[in-house]
Structure 1
Amino acid sequence: MPPQPLDAAAVQRWSRIALEALGRAREDIDAINVFPVPDGDTGTNLYLTVESAAQAVAAAAPAAPGLGEAVRAMAHGALIGARGNSGTILAQLLRGMAEALAAGPEPAGAADLRRALRRAARSAHEAVAHPAEGTMLTVAAAAADAAEAAPAGARAAEVAAAACAGARTALAATPGQLPALAEAGVVDAGGSGLVAVLDALDAALSGRAPDPSLRDRLALPRAGGAHPALTHAHAHAHEHGGEGEDGPGRAAGGAAFEVTYLLDAPEAALPPLRARLGALGDSLVVVGGEGLWHVHVHTAEPGPAVEAGIEAGRPHRIRITGLPPAPPARPPAAARAVVAVLPGDGLAGLCEQAGALTLTVRPGEPPGAGELAAALAAAHAREVVLLPNDDALWHAAAAAAERARAEGLRVAVIPTRSPVQGLAALAVHAAERRFDEDVVAMTAAAGATRFGELAVAERQSWTTAGICQAGDVLGLIDGDVAVIGGSLAEVAEDVLGRMLSAGGELVTLVVGAAAPPGLAARLQERVRAGHLGVDTVVHDGTQDAPLLIGVE
């Protein structure tokens, strides 16, 4: 597809692609979230902010708006739905772009996009009380610089590509600007999310298909061997505070709450509001315009922070969320629990033997956020690690973790996509370690485990391996159908062979209730005969899936 004009249709594509990109990358972004508070939610906050923006653009589409209306809808949706420090800053970036693009022609040209990116970077910088280098503000400024450096005759699509390239370069340099990022071996989480949004703009204008491997191009550490210093950086942030998007990660008295609200107020009311909130806490960001503002602050005094909004105007959509407490240097084992969601009693027994609390679910009845939040609370621990063990549970798990944090719990969600990844994470769990150290070790172990599964097709369907018929045996690898066959044993051998072709040291076989007799023994023999030095462990899982396979 040739390059596309920067018009209302491009904004619709941009918002949709950005949402899809952040949906794919948000687990990785959450995993490297160090500042302003290391609570592992920057990716989720950015996703929810862009989700609100995309919904606003889609709602405006039936009225066939022009470019100005589309970009204003995107910015307004982001402002209304902004979550966390990073989401609030992104909302202001989008607002800055909207102000510039709405004032120009349709379609917008290269010069219009250059002005929009510059205004976005400038307005976001001005909205943050204490800007710091090495954050998404730095990435936004670099994108604007690169856009302005694009050739004079460049089209809008080429300017977007230049801005995206400049943003990636700036993101890679963030560890050299913030010592804590260098200690952790990570790039800035908010900047990573902004790269995803800019990459989506590039895709929307260039005409290329959305990049499914975006998260692999964000310069993020990989789960298998990444950021061993993350533990130290998290501890450093808790013990000493740290410069995030806008100054120290905690107030002098210890900011215990994140307070956000929308505020209807005249612009003249903002200076005294900023002054009062600045005295109450840190991470202060106030964005918006035309009488509607989004206020974000970390404070130990949430009541006075809301009262300041009442004095300035009319606050609404008020959210007060507990920030994670600083952990003890060596928390006792009873202070931490692991909750694992599992599809069968046999798997539950395995995880309970490894020290986890379990929530067993029946096929077709996935737990909601409320049920998961209740399981976290029932753990009766100050720190809880949640293993969802299923891609489909990620949204519910993230929402449950947010609820639990609001109740004062410290929660981490390990992005386990299969029970075998959960078993791998539990194998390295050590409650005597620092919480962050334990979470990083468990995340690395899960990420280093490829997972396979056998299933039986219930109906004719299209799959990544072709068309299957009802009754066909499906072999899945890392969630995608890789093999279609008629025999459980033959498909299992094929799947296992493909998984081991990339190497491995340990094979875990979890045999389900529908597995034929002797299947595990046949696969063990296949491993012994063809893969020297690879060990095999067999468990009786009693789950509905005939077989689960893990390769570490």
Structure 2
Amino acid sequence: MKRWLSKAEVVLGNHSDRLNAINIFPVADGDTGTNLYLTVRAAVASLGGTAPAPTDPGNDVGALLSRAGQAAMEQARGNSGTLFAVFLCAAAEPLVGKARLSAPLLATALNRAQIRAWSALSDPVSGTMLSVLEAAARAAQAVDDSQNGDDSNHALGLSLDAVVEAAFQAVVRTEDELAQLHEAHVVDAGGVGMLLVLDCLRSAVLGEELQDELLDGLHGYKLQDPHIHEHMPADDGVEVMCTISLSPLNAAILRQRLDEMGDSVIMSQVGGTTGQDDDDESTVEASYRWRVHVHVPDPEPAVALIRSLGDPTDIAVSQLAVPRDTRQEPAYNQESSSVPGQSRHEY
């Protein structure tokens, strides 16, 4: 699992420029590759070296991925990074206490992840990485059904092959599922990113090479293709992200109010409850940590709303519009920690 995430960090870094180039949905801000890379990098950094952490109960796949997912959630960037963090946290849950991955567990984990990802968004849309996750989960379940719950390595290999193939087909379909993508003649950037993550999982588990040919023929993905987002209308809004502890009621209020203020609202729980019962008969309502993401025209009303409901941490406001006359640096490598410049303000 550590090899999977480390491989995903390198691969997403190397593909970040092309992912940015075709990023036009939900806004043409050209940063999907960067956001995915930075989020996965946070997950990898949380795992340290190859030795188990003192808090890890032995060889626990779920505990390790949960730790990586929590770190990714706390430092998630953008729509794509936040949804990847949701994917990782949700996929870890059925794996807690397990020493190895199997085809039945993979099916359960992917299904949990796709359900959680769809529900994290206030207005989920097909033709995105959500569709890719859903297709992957269905493929894993189909293989598990056909193998009658076989937990052998052979069945796991069949499942991973089917997952990556289904993810690829789902990526191809995104071009015709979203009008913006169809008009620009490109596939969804977040969907390609999820395909790369899943192929890294297959490669790490099976000890095989990445299937680079998967990307052949994806519209807009050739190195010589232009950065599509540079020719799209600029979005004058901003992206607001933070982490905050809220009761379920206040979380629902925040989601509803943010839906009214803007779009691309994502709220996902980070960790467990933070509230406890008082010693007397009164009860303190349990609260949960939430990662919040929204696109709004003006950050001030959104920040004021968030602060009226709780005490947020790591509030970050980033401009959605990007310069149309420059491109972000291509390709990170495994040793580099450099990150292309982003217009980002930390509160």
Q: How many residues align?
A: 316
Distance 1:389 1:313 in 2: 39
Matched residues in 2 for 1:271 and 1:190: separation? 27
1:398 aligns to 2:345 (yes or no): no
The CA distance in 2 between the partners of 1:388 and 1:127, in whole Å, is: 31
Specify which of 293, 297, 301 is matched with residue 300 of structure 1. 297
Deviations 1:182-203 (A, max 9, x none): 1111100011111111111111
Offset from partner CA, 1:487-525 (integer Å, 9 cap, x none): xxxxxxxxxxxxxxxxxxxxxxxxxxxxxxxxxxxxxxx
Mapped pair 1:191 → 2:172: no
- Is 2:69 the partner of 1:75? yes
Aligned twin of 1:132? 125
Q: CA deviation at 1:134?
A: 0.4
Choose between structure 1 and 2: higher strand proportion: 1
Give 1:88's aligned residue: 82
Instruction: Give the Cα–Cα distance (whole angstroms) in 1 for the partners of residues 217 and 107 of structure 2.
Output: 23
Could you tell me whether the CA contact under 8 Å between 2:28 and 2:229 is conserved in 1? no
Shift of 1:67: 1.5
Q: Displacement, 1:100?
A: 1.7
Question: Contact 2:139–2:162 at 8 Å: present in 1 too?
Answer: yes
Distance 1:389 1:119, change over 3 A: closer
Query: 1:308 deviation in Å?
Result: 2.3
Match of 1:261 among 242, 249, 262: 242
Change over 3 Å in CA distance of 1:122–1:92 after alignment to 2: same
**1:318 — aligned with what?**
315
Partners of 1:226 and 1:87 in 2: CA distance: 24
Higher relative contact order, chain-length normalized (CA < 8 Å, sep 6+): 2
Change (3 A) 1:227 1:183: farther
Q: Note closer, same or farther for the CA distance 1:224–1:157 as it changes in structure 2 (3 Å cut).
A: closer
Give distance in 1, aligned partners of 2:101 and 2:307.
Answer: 40
CA–CA separation in structure 2 for the residues paired with 1:177 and 1:386: 27
Residue equivalent to 1:494: none
Determine the C-alpha separation between the residues in 2 that align with 1:185 and 1:138.
18
| Residue-by-residue CA offset, 1:328-356 (whole Å, 9 max, x unaligned) | xxxxxxxxxxxxxxxxxxxxxxxxxxxxx
Q: Which amino acid aligns with 1:109?
A: S
1:287 maps onto 2:268 in alignment: yes
> Where do 1:51-66 residues align within 5 Å?
51-58=41-48, 61-63=51-53, 65=56, 66=60
Q: Is the 8 A contact 1:36 1:283 kept in 2?
A: yes
Q: 1:383 to 1:63 in 2, by over 3 A?
A: closer
Residue 270 of structure 1: how far off its partner (Å): 1.0
Q: Which amino acid aligns with 1:322?
A: Q
CA distance in 1 between partners of 2:339 and 2:128 (Å): 27
**TM-fit CA distance, 1:311:** 2.9
Normalising to structure 2: TM-score of the pair?
0.82
- 1:204 alignment counterpart: 204
What is the CA–CA distance in structure 1 between the aligned matches of 2:70 and 2:204, rounded to whole Å?
20
Give how far 1:391 is off: 7.7
Query: Which whole-Å deviations, capped at 9, do the CAs of 1:124-173 have from their partners, x for residues lacking one?
Result: 00010111110010111000011111131462233222111111110011
Corresponding residue SS for 1:385: coil
Q: Does 1:42 align with 2:32?
A: yes
* Cα deviation code 1:241-300 (max 9, x no counterpart): xxxxxxxxx7xxxx6211001112233421011011111111101112422211100112
CA distance 1:316–1:60, change in 2 (3 Å): farther
Q: Distance in 1 between matches of 2:53 and 2:230?
A: 52
Deviation at 1:223, TM superposition (A): 4.3
Contact 1:142 1:167 in 2 (8 A): yes
Structure 2: which 5+ residue stretches go unaligned?
273-287
Distance verdict in 2 for CA 1:295–1:97, change over 3 Å: same
CA distance in 1, matches of 2:325, 2:85: 31
Shift of 1:304: 2.1
- Per the TM alignment, residue 225 of structure 1 is displaced from its structure 2 partner at its CA by 5.6
* 2:118 counterpart SS class: helix
Q: Deviations over 1:31-62 (max 9, x none)?
A: 00001111110000000000001111226944
Change (3 A) 1:62 1:306: same
Kept after mapping to 1: 8 A contact 2:17/2:331: no
Q: Residue in 2 aligned with 1:420?
A: none
**2:93 paired residue among 99, 114, 118:** 99
In structure 2, relative to structure 1, the CA distance for the partners of 1:227 and 1:169 (3 Å cut) is: farther
Q: SS of the residue aligned with 1:283?
A: strand
The Cα shift of 1:220 comes to: 5.0
Deviation at 1:231, TM superposition (A): 7.0
Judge conservation of contact 2:245–2:290 (CA < 8 Å) in 1: yes
Q: Which has the larger radius of gyration?
A: 1
Root-mean-square deviation (CA), in Å? 2.8
CA-to-partner distance for each residue in 1:528-551, whole Å, 9 max, x for gaps? xxxxxxxxxxxxxxxxxxxxxxxx
Q: Which amino acid is the alignment partner of residue 385 of structure 1?
A: T
TM-score, normalised relative to structure 1? 0.53
| CA 1:390–1:74: 2 relative to 1, 3 Å | closer
Q: Report matched runs for 1:377-416 at 5 Å.
A: 384-385=325-326, 396=338, 398-399=340-341, 402-403=342-343
Q: Secondary structure at the match of 1:130?
A: coil
1:148 is matched with: 141
The 5 Å alignment of 1:525-544 reads none
**Match 1:278 to one of 259, 262, 266:** 259
